[in-house]
Amino acid sequence: MFSTGVSVSVPTLAFLVLTGCTANSVTTIIEESQPTNEETGRFQNLDTGKKSYPLTCKQDCYKSRSDDIQCDSEGLCQYTGNKKSPSEALDFSVKWLGHATFVIKTPAGDSFLTDPVFDEFDWPINWLFSLDGEQREIDVESAPELIDATDAILYSHVHYDHFNKSDIETIGVDPEYLVPLNMADHFPSIGAKIAEIGWFSSKKIGKTLVTAVPAHHFSSRTFVPFIYEDNNKVSWNAWLVENEGKKLFFAGDTGYSEHFKVINKRYGDIDVCLLPIASYYSKESPEWYRYVHMTPEDALTAADDLNCKILIPWGYGNASWGMGDLSSHSALVRFLNIAERIGTSAEIVILNEGESL
């Protein structure tokens, strides 16, 4: 059971909020009510409760794949395995910049950027991580020509490794920002055009329909983890990008749950799936980490639930935050080992940071 966080009296509610304390313009689009906790009124996942997972790797998960992954003396690694192209036309252009940042161009030429974090995380997280040597080895480039060509920014949630306030000032006001509900308050005041979009709600960008769909995660922005003060006041989204009959799915941060089957039932099979495979383990809180992040085998299960034609994993890599992983590419090693054993109906495409498909 859940109560709704927003009351709507018409199928589609879209209103413009202009406040005196910010120069940003904020449109909120809610076509269906989104689940919230009955007691707190804060956002919650579509599929709550304890999880059982169809697949769990227990043996030879990290068996060496030295033929596929080469690392230099500084520990920077590259995937050097099979780089085959998909057997059918992709239609979408996809470039992976690192971690959760993708450049996506639709068949009609509309261009999107997901979760851009170009440099170290916002203060104070960048400072706290530097004390432990946790800074990323490679920063993602914020090339001016990339920003100029971007029609809209898609943010999945407010966590530091997916949302950088300092980068918004670099991006500027030309692209539109599509974000989860209640996220606009975290933006710097730059005159940005922001659309807060609830689950199963859509907005047209150019000739492309962008729909917010559920992820299985949580939100907070306090620099002391798991303080309840701001937990789940902001929602979290995955994004479905549709153009000329083709569909691309960006999962954002998510654990595995029944929400993938719900998405497939409502929107049909997906042509290109961008699914996370990392940050799934913590010695202190193993169940919690997997609850809100997918293991490589969870991603393979999700790809089957979505009936993905092409699967591009992300979250590993030199520019990624190595939270809960053994090394920069250990999640990819585990993914390749399990995919080799169990197979999948999707065509798997592995990218290095900076590579395009």
The region, left, alpha or beta by phi > 0 then psi within -120 to 50, assigned to residue 28 is beta
CATH number of the domain that residue 23 is part of = 3.60.15.10
The proportion of the chain whose per-residue pLDDT surpasses 90, expressed as a percent, equals: 70
In the chain, what is the straight-line distance between the N-terminal and C-terminal CA atoms, in Å?
42
Does the structure show a pLDDT above 90 at 1? no
Largest distance between two CA atoms of the chain: 61
The label of the residue with tokens 């992820």 reads: 215
Query: What is the C-alpha separation between 161 and 313, in angstroms, rounded?
Result: 17
Does the structure show a pLDDT above 70 at 32? yes
Domain contains 51: no
pLDDT of residue 124: 60
Domain contains 354: no
Query: What is the C-alpha separation between 111 and 104, in angstroms, rounded?
Result: 6
pLDDT of residue 20: 40
Range of the domain at 108: 3-46+56-348
Residue 241 CB-density burial (10 A; 0-12 exposed, 13-18 middle, 19+ buried): buried
Average pLDDT, the chain: 88
Identify the weakest region by mean pLDDT among 2-6, 131-135, 203-207. 2-6
Give me 322's structure tokens.
Answer: 């190595």
Residue 42 sits at the vertex; the CA angle it makes with 275 and 204, to the nearest 5 degrees, is 50
Give me 287's structure tokens.
Answer: 């169940």
Does the structure show a pLDDT above 60 at 322? yes
Domain contains 184: yes
pLDDT tens sequence across 288-302: 999 999 999 999 999
Q: Are the CB atoms for 110 and 243 separated by under 8 Å?
A: yes
Domain contains 356: no
Q: Is the pTM of this model over 0.85?
A: yes
Q: Are the CB atoms for 106 and 121 separated by under 8 Å?
A: no
Based on the structure, what is the number of domains in the chain? 1
Domain contains 206: yes
Identify the weakest region by mean pLDDT among 32-46, 128-142, 170-184, 308-322. 128-142
Assess whether the previous peptide bond of 124 is cis (omega < 30° from 0). yes
φ/ψ of residue 173, rounded to 5: -105, -5
Q: Are the CB atoms for 247 and 271 separated by under 8 Å?
A: yes
| 126 — pLDDT class (breaks 50, 70, 90) | low
